[in-house]
Structure 1
Amino acid sequence: MGGQIILSHGSDSGPDATKVSVLAAFAESLGWTTQRPDYREEDRRGYAGSIDPRVARLIAAVDMLDRPPVLVGSSMGSFVSGLASLQRPVAGLFLLATPSDIPGYRQAFDLRAGVPTLLYHGWQDDICPPEGVLAFAQRKRLPLVVVDDDHRLSASVDHIVGQFRLFLETVAASA
Protein backbone atom coordinates (compact mmCIF):
# COMPACT_ATOMS: atom_id res chain seq x y z
CA MET A 1 0.00 0.00 0.00
CA GLY A 2 1.12 3.57 -0.37
CA GLY A 3 0.40 6.89 -1.95
CA GLN A 4 0.06 10.47 -0.89
CA ILE A 5 -2.35 11.96 1.65
CA ILE A 6 -3.07 15.56 2.58
CA LEU A 7 -4.81 15.96 5.95
CA SER A 8 -6.66 19.23 6.63
CA HIS A 9 -7.50 20.28 10.18
CA GLY A 10 -10.64 22.05 11.32
CA SER A 11 -11.09 25.67 12.36
CA ASP A 12 -9.92 26.59 15.85
CA SER A 13 -7.42 23.77 15.49
CA GLY A 14 -4.04 23.15 13.88
CA PRO A 15 -1.99 20.60 11.96
CA ASP A 16 -1.14 18.78 15.20
CA ALA A 17 -4.80 18.22 16.10
CA THR A 18 -5.58 14.79 17.53
CA LYS A 19 -7.53 13.22 14.67
CA VAL A 20 -5.31 14.39 11.81
CA SER A 21 -2.19 13.49 13.80
CA VAL A 22 -3.44 9.99 14.59
CA LEU A 23 -4.55 9.40 10.99
CA ALA A 24 -1.26 10.71 9.60
CA ALA A 25 0.79 8.46 11.87
CA PHE A 26 -1.37 5.48 10.99
CA ALA A 27 -1.13 6.13 7.23
CA GLU A 28 2.65 6.55 7.48
CA SER A 29 2.87 3.19 9.27
CA LEU A 30 1.27 1.68 6.15
CA GLY A 31 3.76 3.34 3.80
CA TRP A 32 1.74 6.39 2.77
CA THR A 33 3.36 9.84 2.56
CA THR A 34 1.44 12.53 4.44
CA GLN A 35 1.40 16.26 4.80
CA ARG A 36 -0.69 18.52 7.01
CA PRO A 37 -1.05 22.12 5.83
CA ASP A 38 -1.29 24.73 8.57
CA TYR A 39 -4.41 26.82 7.95
CA ARG A 40 -4.28 28.87 11.16
CA GLU A 41 -3.32 32.07 9.30
CA GLU A 42 -6.26 31.64 6.90
CA ASP A 43 -8.59 30.89 9.83
CA ARG A 44 -8.02 34.38 11.25
CA ARG A 45 -10.29 35.64 8.44
CA GLY A 46 -13.32 33.98 10.04
CA TYR A 47 -15.21 30.91 8.91
CA ALA A 48 -16.57 32.12 5.57
CA GLY A 49 -13.49 34.28 4.90
CA SER A 50 -11.08 31.38 5.39
CA ILE A 51 -12.58 29.03 2.81
CA ASP A 52 -11.17 30.42 -0.45
CA PRO A 53 -7.65 30.89 0.99
CA ARG A 54 -7.76 27.38 2.48
CA VAL A 55 -8.88 25.90 -0.85
CA ALA A 56 -6.09 27.80 -2.63
CA ARG A 57 -3.49 26.47 -0.16
CA LEU A 58 -4.81 22.92 -0.52
CA ILE A 59 -4.83 23.11 -4.33
CA ALA A 60 -1.24 24.41 -4.27
CA ALA A 61 -0.27 21.38 -2.16
CA VAL A 62 -2.05 19.02 -4.58
CA ASP A 63 -0.32 20.67 -7.54
CA MET A 64 3.09 19.94 -5.99
CA LEU A 65 2.46 16.17 -6.02
CA ASP A 66 3.24 13.73 -8.81
CA ARG A 67 -0.16 11.99 -8.59
CA PRO A 68 -3.61 12.66 -7.16
CA PRO A 69 -3.64 12.36 -3.35
CA VAL A 70 -6.21 11.16 -0.87
CA LEU A 71 -7.67 14.17 0.93
CA VAL A 72 -8.58 13.77 4.59
CA GLY A 73 -10.39 16.52 6.42
CA SER A 74 -12.04 17.30 9.71
CA SER A 75 -14.89 19.84 9.86
CA MET A 76 -13.71 22.92 7.92
CA GLY A 77 -10.92 20.69 6.58
CA SER A 78 -13.59 18.39 5.16
CA PHE A 79 -15.45 21.29 3.61
CA VAL A 80 -12.38 22.62 1.78
CA SER A 81 -11.24 19.11 0.78
CA GLY A 82 -14.55 18.55 -0.98
CA LEU A 83 -14.35 21.92 -2.74
CA ALA A 84 -10.73 21.30 -3.76
CA SER A 85 -11.79 17.99 -5.34
CA LEU A 86 -14.01 19.98 -7.69
CA GLN A 87 -10.89 21.71 -9.04
CA ARG A 88 -8.24 18.97 -9.01
CA PRO A 89 -8.27 15.18 -9.41
CA VAL A 90 -7.98 13.33 -6.11
CA ALA A 91 -7.66 9.62 -5.34
CA GLY A 92 -10.17 9.70 -2.50
CA LEU A 93 -11.91 11.75 0.17
CA PHE A 94 -12.10 10.67 3.84
CA LEU A 95 -14.17 13.36 5.56
CA LEU A 96 -15.00 13.78 9.23
CA ALA A 97 -17.66 16.01 10.83
CA THR A 98 -18.45 17.68 7.51
CA PRO A 99 -20.52 20.87 7.52
CA SER A 100 -23.15 20.95 4.78
CA ASP A 101 -22.68 24.70 4.47
CA ILE A 102 -20.82 27.57 6.09
CA PRO A 103 -22.96 30.59 7.00
CA GLY A 104 -21.94 33.54 4.81
CA TYR A 105 -20.15 31.43 2.20
CA ARG A 106 -21.48 31.46 -1.38
CA GLN A 107 -21.86 27.72 -1.87
CA ALA A 108 -22.82 24.62 0.03
CA PHE A 109 -20.52 21.65 0.50
CA ASP A 110 -19.88 19.61 -2.62
CA LEU A 111 -17.34 17.22 -4.07
CA ARG A 112 -16.31 15.66 -7.37
CA ALA A 113 -18.61 12.85 -8.44
CA GLY A 114 -17.04 9.43 -8.82
CA VAL A 115 -14.27 9.96 -6.27
CA PRO A 116 -14.06 7.20 -3.63
CA THR A 117 -15.49 8.92 -0.55
CA LEU A 118 -16.35 8.07 3.03
CA LEU A 119 -18.20 10.51 5.27
CA TYR A 120 -17.95 10.03 9.05
CA HIS A 121 -20.11 12.00 11.48
CA GLY A 122 -21.41 12.10 15.06
CA TRP A 123 -25.09 11.91 15.95
CA GLN A 124 -24.48 14.42 18.76
CA ASP A 125 -22.63 16.96 16.57
CA ASP A 126 -24.09 20.33 17.61
CA ILE A 127 -21.66 22.34 15.46
CA CYS A 128 -22.38 20.53 12.17
CA PRO A 129 -25.73 18.85 12.81
CA PRO A 130 -25.94 15.43 11.16
CA GLU A 131 -29.08 16.25 9.14
CA GLY A 132 -27.05 18.19 6.57
CA VAL A 133 -24.51 15.44 5.89
CA LEU A 134 -27.26 12.78 5.96
CA ALA A 135 -29.15 14.62 3.22
CA PHE A 136 -25.95 15.16 1.23
CA ALA A 137 -24.91 11.51 1.48
CA GLN A 138 -28.38 10.37 0.46
CA ARG A 139 -28.52 12.76 -2.50
CA LYS A 140 -25.05 11.70 -3.73
CA ARG A 141 -25.42 8.03 -2.69
CA LEU A 142 -22.21 8.15 -0.63
CA PRO A 143 -21.18 5.89 2.23
CA LEU A 144 -21.72 7.51 5.60
CA VAL A 145 -20.76 6.23 9.04
CA VAL A 146 -22.67 7.91 11.87
CA VAL A 147 -21.65 7.17 15.45
CA ASP A 148 -22.84 8.17 18.91
CA ASP A 149 -20.31 10.97 19.36
CA ASP A 150 -20.07 14.75 19.15
CA HIS A 151 -18.31 17.10 16.73
CA ARG A 152 -14.81 16.32 18.00
CA LEU A 153 -15.37 12.56 17.54
CA SER A 154 -12.97 12.01 20.46
CA ALA A 155 -14.69 8.82 21.62
CA SER A 156 -14.46 7.35 18.10
CA VAL A 157 -10.79 7.73 17.19
CA ASP A 158 -10.07 3.98 17.22
CA HIS A 159 -13.14 3.30 15.07
CA ILE A 160 -12.14 6.12 12.69
CA VAL A 161 -8.70 4.54 12.28
CA GLY A 162 -10.32 1.19 11.46
CA GLN A 163 -12.54 2.82 8.84
CA PHE A 164 -9.53 4.70 7.48
CA ARG A 165 -7.63 1.44 7.05
CA LEU A 166 -10.49 -0.06 5.05
CA PHE A 167 -10.80 3.11 3.01
CA LEU A 168 -7.08 3.22 2.16
CA GLU A 169 -7.13 -0.45 1.21
CA THR A 170 -10.00 0.24 -1.18
CA VAL A 171 -8.26 3.26 -2.71
CA ALA A 172 -4.98 1.36 -3.10
CA ALA A 173 -6.75 -1.59 -4.75
CA SER A 174 -8.43 0.68 -7.30
CA ALA A 175 -5.22 2.54 -8.19
Structure 2
Amino acid sequence: MRGQIILSHGSDSGPDATKVGVLAEHAEALGWRAIRPDYRREDQLGHAGSVGPRLEKLVAAIDACVEPPVLVGSSMGAFVSALAALERKVAGLFLLATPPAIPGCGRALDLPAGVPTLLLHGWRDEVCPLPALYAFAGARRLPLLLLDDDHRLGASVEAIAAQFRQFLDPIA
Protein backbone atom coordinates (compact mmCIF):
# COMPACT_ATOMS: atom_id res chain seq x y z
CA MET A 1 0.00 0.00 0.00
CA ARG A 2 1.33 3.44 -0.95
CA GLY A 3 -0.49 5.37 1.77
CA GLN A 4 -3.90 6.53 2.84
CA ILE A 5 -6.24 9.06 1.31
CA ILE A 6 -9.25 10.52 3.08
CA LEU A 7 -11.89 11.83 0.68
CA SER A 8 -14.45 14.26 2.10
CA HIS A 9 -17.67 14.88 0.18
CA GLY A 10 -19.50 18.18 -0.06
CA SER A 11 -22.74 19.23 1.60
CA ASP A 12 -25.94 17.74 0.21
CA SER A 13 -23.86 14.81 -0.98
CA GLY A 14 -22.49 11.57 0.45
CA PRO A 15 -19.47 9.26 0.45
CA ASP A 16 -20.67 7.67 -2.80
CA ALA A 17 -20.83 10.98 -4.68
CA THR A 18 -19.49 10.90 -8.23
CA LYS A 19 -16.23 12.85 -7.79
CA VAL A 20 -15.32 11.26 -4.46
CA GLY A 21 -16.17 7.81 -5.79
CA VAL A 22 -14.14 8.19 -8.98
CA LEU A 23 -11.13 9.58 -7.10
CA ALA A 24 -11.34 6.77 -4.52
CA GLU A 25 -11.36 4.18 -7.33
CA HIS A 26 -8.35 5.80 -9.00
CA ALA A 27 -6.46 5.95 -5.69
CA GLU A 28 -7.16 2.29 -4.93
CA ALA A 29 -6.09 1.27 -8.46
CA LEU A 30 -2.78 3.04 -7.78
CA GLY A 31 -2.28 1.13 -4.51
CA TRP A 32 -3.59 3.68 -2.01
CA ARG A 33 -6.14 2.96 0.72
CA ALA A 34 -9.17 5.24 0.29
CA ILE A 35 -11.28 6.27 3.28
CA ARG A 36 -14.57 8.10 2.74
CA PRO A 37 -16.17 9.45 5.92
CA ASP A 38 -19.92 9.95 5.82
CA TYR A 39 -20.83 13.51 6.89
CA ARG A 40 -24.55 13.39 6.08
CA ARG A 41 -25.55 13.44 9.76
CA GLU A 42 -23.28 16.43 10.44
CA ASP A 43 -24.66 18.24 7.38
CA GLN A 44 -28.14 18.24 8.94
CA LEU A 45 -26.79 21.02 11.21
CA GLY A 46 -26.55 23.43 8.26
CA HIS A 47 -23.44 24.78 6.59
CA ALA A 48 -22.00 26.78 9.50
CA GLY A 49 -23.17 24.26 12.10
CA SER A 50 -21.60 21.30 10.34
CA VAL A 51 -18.03 22.66 10.19
CA GLY A 52 -17.07 21.78 13.79
CA PRO A 53 -18.58 18.27 13.79
CA ARG A 54 -17.16 17.51 10.33
CA LEU A 55 -13.75 18.69 11.51
CA GLU A 56 -13.91 16.44 14.58
CA LYS A 57 -14.81 13.42 12.44
CA LEU A 58 -12.04 14.13 9.93
CA VAL A 59 -9.39 14.68 12.62
CA ALA A 60 -10.42 11.35 14.20
CA ALA A 61 -10.00 9.66 10.79
CA ILE A 62 -6.55 11.24 10.40
CA ASP A 63 -5.58 10.08 13.90
CA ALA A 64 -6.53 6.52 12.94
CA CYS A 65 -4.13 6.54 9.98
CA VAL A 66 -0.74 4.85 10.28
CA GLU A 67 1.01 7.74 8.50
CA PRO A 68 -0.05 11.24 7.43
CA PRO A 69 -2.76 10.87 4.78
CA VAL A 70 -3.52 12.85 1.65
CA LEU A 71 -6.74 14.79 2.14
CA VAL A 72 -9.15 15.23 -0.75
CA GLY A 73 -12.22 17.39 -0.40
CA SER A 74 -15.00 18.84 -2.47
CA SER A 75 -16.66 22.13 -1.46
CA MET A 76 -17.45 21.84 2.26
CA GLY A 77 -15.19 18.77 2.28
CA ALA A 78 -12.36 20.90 0.87
CA PHE A 79 -12.90 23.63 3.46
CA VAL A 80 -12.85 21.17 6.35
CA SER A 81 -9.87 19.27 4.89
CA ALA A 82 -7.85 22.49 4.83
CA LEU A 83 -8.78 23.23 8.46
CA ALA A 84 -7.89 19.67 9.51
CA ALA A 85 -4.46 20.08 7.91
CA LEU A 86 -3.85 22.95 10.34
CA GLU A 87 -4.44 20.55 13.24
CA ARG A 88 -2.78 17.37 11.99
CA LYS A 89 0.12 16.53 9.73
CA VAL A 90 -0.99 15.54 6.23
CA ALA A 91 0.91 14.44 3.13
CA GLY A 92 -1.03 16.61 0.70
CA LEU A 93 -4.25 18.51 -0.03
CA PHE A 94 -6.25 18.05 -3.24
CA LEU A 95 -9.13 20.52 -2.98
CA LEU A 96 -12.10 20.95 -5.34
CA ALA A 97 -14.59 23.83 -5.54
CA THR A 98 -13.19 25.27 -2.32
CA PRO A 99 -15.11 27.99 -0.49
CA PRO A 100 -12.82 30.64 1.05
CA ALA A 101 -15.30 31.01 3.91
CA ILE A 102 -18.49 29.44 5.25
CA PRO A 103 -20.87 32.24 6.26
CA GLY A 104 -21.60 32.13 9.98
CA CYS A 105 -18.92 29.59 10.93
CA GLY A 106 -16.39 32.12 12.21
CA ARG A 107 -13.40 30.53 10.46
CA ALA A 108 -11.89 31.45 7.13
CA LEU A 109 -10.05 29.08 4.85
CA ASP A 110 -6.41 28.63 5.77
CA LEU A 111 -3.68 26.12 4.98
CA PRO A 112 -0.44 25.01 6.61
CA ALA A 113 2.75 26.06 4.86
CA GLY A 114 4.80 23.45 3.07
CA VAL A 115 2.05 20.91 2.36
CA PRO A 116 1.71 19.94 -1.32
CA THR A 117 -1.62 21.48 -2.38
CA LEU A 118 -3.61 21.70 -5.59
CA LEU A 119 -6.82 23.70 -5.93
CA LEU A 120 -9.25 22.89 -8.75
CA HIS A 121 -12.20 25.18 -9.40
CA GLY A 122 -14.84 25.84 -12.02
CA TRP A 123 -14.81 29.06 -14.00
CA ARG A 124 -18.60 29.12 -13.64
CA ASP A 125 -18.82 28.15 -9.95
CA GLU A 126 -22.04 29.75 -8.78
CA VAL A 127 -21.65 28.70 -5.12
CA CYS A 128 -18.01 29.56 -4.36
CA PRO A 129 -17.12 32.69 -6.36
CA LEU A 130 -13.82 32.46 -8.16
CA PRO A 131 -12.45 35.94 -7.26
CA ALA A 132 -12.20 35.13 -3.54
CA LEU A 133 -10.46 31.78 -4.15
CA TYR A 134 -8.20 33.37 -6.76
CA ALA A 135 -7.11 35.97 -4.19
CA PHE A 136 -6.57 33.23 -1.58
CA ALA A 137 -4.44 31.13 -3.95
CA GLY A 138 -2.54 34.14 -5.24
CA ALA A 139 -1.61 35.38 -1.78
CA ARG A 140 -0.12 31.94 -1.02
CA ARG A 141 1.24 31.21 -4.51
CA LEU A 142 -0.75 27.97 -4.66
CA PRO A 143 -1.40 26.11 -7.89
CA LEU A 144 -4.97 26.72 -9.03
CA LEU A 145 -6.38 24.82 -12.00
CA LEU A 146 -9.49 26.40 -13.51
CA LEU A 147 -11.88 24.17 -15.40
CA ASP A 148 -14.72 25.12 -17.75
CA ASP A 149 -17.36 23.89 -15.32
CA ASP A 150 -19.70 24.91 -12.52
CA HIS A 151 -19.55 24.19 -8.78
CA ARG A 152 -20.31 20.49 -9.11
CA LEU A 153 -17.44 19.99 -11.61
CA GLY A 154 -19.51 17.16 -13.09
CA ALA A 155 -18.28 17.72 -16.64
CA SER A 156 -14.65 17.59 -15.51
CA VAL A 157 -14.45 14.33 -13.59
CA GLU A 158 -11.96 12.68 -15.94
CA ALA A 159 -9.75 15.78 -16.07
CA ILE A 160 -9.84 15.91 -12.26
CA ALA A 161 -8.90 12.22 -12.05
CA ALA A 162 -5.94 12.79 -14.39
CA GLN A 163 -4.73 15.70 -12.23
CA PHE A 164 -5.20 13.55 -9.14
CA ARG A 165 -2.94 10.83 -10.51
CA GLN A 166 -0.26 13.42 -11.31
CA PHE A 167 -0.65 14.97 -7.84
CA LEU A 168 -0.18 11.60 -6.10
CA ASP A 169 2.93 10.49 -8.03
CA PRO A 170 5.51 12.61 -6.14
CA ILE A 171 3.79 12.00 -2.80
CA ALA A 172 3.88 8.21 -3.22
Q: 5 Å matches for 1:25-174?
A: 25-172=25-172
Provide structure 1 residue ranges, at least 5 long, that are not aligned to the other structure. none
What's the RMSD between the two structures over aligned residues? Answer: 0.8
Structure 1 position 25, deviation (Å): 0.3
Tell me the alpha carbon deviations over residues 30-62 of structure 1, each in whole angstroms, 9 at most, x when there is no partner: 000011000000000000000000000000000
Mean alpha-carbon deviation: is it higher for 70-79 or for 130-139?
A: 130-139
**Residue 91 of structure 1: CA displacement?**
0.1
CA distance in 1, matches of 2:103, 2:30: 38
Specify every segment of 5 or more residues in structure 2 that has no aligned partner in the other structure, as ranges.
none
- 1:24 corresponds in structure 2 to 24
Q: 2:133, 2:23 → 1: CA distance?
A: 21
State the Cα distance separating 1:105 from its structure 2 match.
Answer: 1.1
Cα distance, 1:107 vs. partner?
A: 1.4
Structure 2 counterpart of 1:69, one-letter code: P
User: Which whole-Å CA distance do the structure 1 matches of 2:120 and 2:171 have between them?
Assistant: 17
TM normalised by structure 1 equals: 0.97
* Structure 2 SS opposite 1:157: helix
Per the alignment, in what secondary structure is the counterpart of residue 62 of structure 2?
Answer: helix
Query: Where does residue 7 of structure 1 map in the other structure?
Result: 7
Corresponding letter in the other structure for 2:104:
G
Tell me the distance in 2 between the aligned counterparts of 1:60 and 1:134: 30
1:147 Cα deviation from its structure 2 partner: 1.0
| Runs of 4+, deviation exceeding 6 Å | none
* Distance in 2, Cα, partners of 1:104 & 1:11: 15
Percent identical pairs in the alignment equals 66
State the alpha-carbon separation in 1 of the partners of residues 135 and 170 from structure 2. 24
Write the letter of the residue equivalent to 1:102. Answer: I
Structure 2 length-normalised TM: 0.98
